[in-house]
């Protein structure tokens, strides 16, 4: 083939319609690299934020239950207000997505009332998250701060296990090894805590705390993976709207837990008994 035969192919590939020379493949590759770098930066920022948030919240949770105060708050009430705060934030985000309060109301009517069976799907994870939050408060009341933080990492183990079972995900050998090391490490920490000579304060019971933390982590892992399965297997709905749907079930469930667990004490001491800045920060 002569050079004149090759020229049209070269010109088509490097010039646009006005005759300006461009390099489409290189430009596309640069944009892809920039996009990949941007996504990696966002993922790193989110990872750092979630790690800090999880660590600070875990420490606050333990501190709020272990500190020496004359009036200890009711943990069930704290869980209830957590659900209230969550749905307020999610409603605000839905309002932003729908460009105003009227759009938010229409979207809620369409999603909650127009598709009741779709809303009913999130009933199970909503109930499980309510139970999980109450169990974490129970665990924080009976475990030391360091032990509580380490044991709570079993959420990673439970999430990975349920993702394999429910989502049929593949884990490499290195990942299984890491999970095994995590499980063994948590077990060793509990053995050391249970057999240690350090005197526990008040009514702390490491066995109760460890059991509550393990059950809460298992529930957290299952609920998280089940919720992900719902998101992937249903019609496209924003994560904020899904959380509003969950609030429809979690708020009544958490209020029922308040009445069952602390109803008589609340009747005499008040709903916000023992609440201060630390408790509200934990919520």
**pLDDT tens figures, 185-231:** 777 776 665 555 455 555 778 888 889 999 999 999 999 899 888 88
**Rounded Cα–Cα distance for residues 173 and 254 (Å):** 40
Looking at the predicted structure, is the pLDDT value of residue 46 above 90? no
Kindly report the average pLDDT of the chain as a whole number.
80
The pLDDT of residue 249:
92
- Which has the higher per-residue pLDDT, 224 or 181? 224
pLDDT greater than 50 at residue 6: no
What is the reported pLDDT for 120? 85
* The pLDDT of residue 218: 92
What values do phi and psi take at 72, rounded to 5? -90, 130
Structure-block tokens of residue 68: 């020496």
Under DSSP, the state recorded for 263 is H
- Answer whether residue 41 shows pLDDT above 50: yes
Question: Would you list the DSSP string of 114-132?
Answer: T-HHHHHTTHHHHHHHHHH
Residues 225 and 149 in one domain: yes
Six-digit token pair at 222? 């299952």
Looking at 47, 66, 85, the residue that finishes a domain is: 66
Last residue of a domain, one of 12, 40, 66: 66
Percent share of the chain, pLDDT over 70: 81
How far apart are alpha carbons 214 and 154 in whole angstroms?
7
**Pair (80, 49) in one structural domain:** no
pLDDT of 84: 94
Residue 88 near residue 97, CB atoms below 8 Å: no
Which residues have a Cβ under 8 Å from the Cβ of 140 and sit 6 or more positions away?
A: 61, 62, 64, 65, 66, 148, 209
Q: Are residues 172 and 245 in the same domain?
A: yes
**Same structural domain, 132 and 175:** yes
77 and 18 within one domain: no
| Strand partners of residue 15 | 21
> Could you give the number of structural domains in the chain?
2
Q: Are 182 and 218 in the same domain?
A: yes
Residue 92 in tokens: 């605000």
Rounded to whole angstroms, how far apart are CA atoms 123 and 239?
Answer: 15
Q: Are 251 and 259 in contact (CB under 8 A)?
A: no
Q: How confident is the model at residue 83 (pLDDT cuts 50, 70, 90)?
A: very high
Verify that 85 and 177 share a domain, yes or no: yes
Same domain, 237 and 115: yes
pLDDT of 19 over the 70 cut? no
Cα-Cα-Cα-Cα torsion 155, 158, 163, 165, nearest 10 degrees, comes to -170
Using 50, 70 and 90 to split pLDDT, how confident is the model at 274? confident
Decide if pLDDT at 81 tops 90.
Answer: yes
User: Do 116 and 9 belong to one domain?
Assistant: no
Say yes or no: 34 and 163 in one domain. Answer: no
Q: Could you report the per-residue pLDDT of 87-128, keeping only the tens digit for each?
A: 999 999 989 888 888 888 888 888 888 888 888 888 999 999
Residue where a domain terminates, one of 13, 31, 66: 66
Top pLDDT among 266 and 173 is at 266
Mean pLDDT across the stretch 17-41?
Answer: 55
Give yes or no: residues 124 and 262 share one domain: yes
Would you say 228 and 102 are in contact if contact means Cβ atoms under 8 Å apart? no
Q: Assess contact for 98 and 104: CB atoms under 8 A.
A: yes
Same domain, 186 and 246: yes
Structural domain that includes position 9:
1-66
């Amino acid at each position: 083939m002569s050079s004149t035969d090759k020229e049209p192919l070269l010109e088509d590939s490097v010039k646009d319609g006005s005759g300006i020379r461009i390099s489409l493949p290189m430009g596309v590759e640069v944009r892809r690299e920039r996009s990949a770098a941007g996504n990696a930066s966002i993922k790193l920022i989110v990872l750092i934020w979630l790690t800090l948030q999880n660590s600070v919240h875990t420490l606050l949770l333990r501190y709020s239950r272990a500190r020496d105060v004359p009036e200890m708050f009711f943990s069930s009430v704290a869980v209830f207000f957590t659900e209230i705060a969550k749905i307020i934030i999610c409603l605000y985000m839905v309002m932003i997505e729908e460009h105003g309060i009227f759009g938010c109301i229409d979207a809620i009517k369409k999603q909650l009332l127009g598709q009741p069976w779709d809303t009913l799907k999130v009933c199970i994870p909503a109930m499980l998250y309510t139970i999980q939050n109450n169990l974490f408060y129970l665990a924080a009341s009976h475990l030391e701060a360091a032990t509580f933080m380490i044991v709570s990492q079993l959420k990673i183990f439970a999430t990975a296990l349920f993702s394999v079972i429910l989502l049929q995900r593949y884990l490499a050998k290195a990942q299984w090894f890491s999970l095994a090391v995590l499980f063994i490490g948590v077990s060793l920490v509990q053995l050391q805590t249970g057999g240690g000579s350090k005197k526990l304060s008040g009514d702390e019971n490491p066995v109760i705390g460890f059991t509550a933390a393990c059950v809460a982590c298992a529930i957290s892992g299952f609920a998280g993976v089940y919720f992900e399965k719902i998101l992937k297997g249903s019609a496209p709905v924003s994560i904020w709207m899904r959380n509003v749907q969950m609030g429809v079930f979690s708020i009544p469930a958490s209020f029922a837990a308040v009445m069952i667990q602390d109803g008589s004490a609340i009747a005499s001491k008040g709903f916000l008994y023992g609440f201060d800045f630390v408790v509200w920060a934990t919520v």
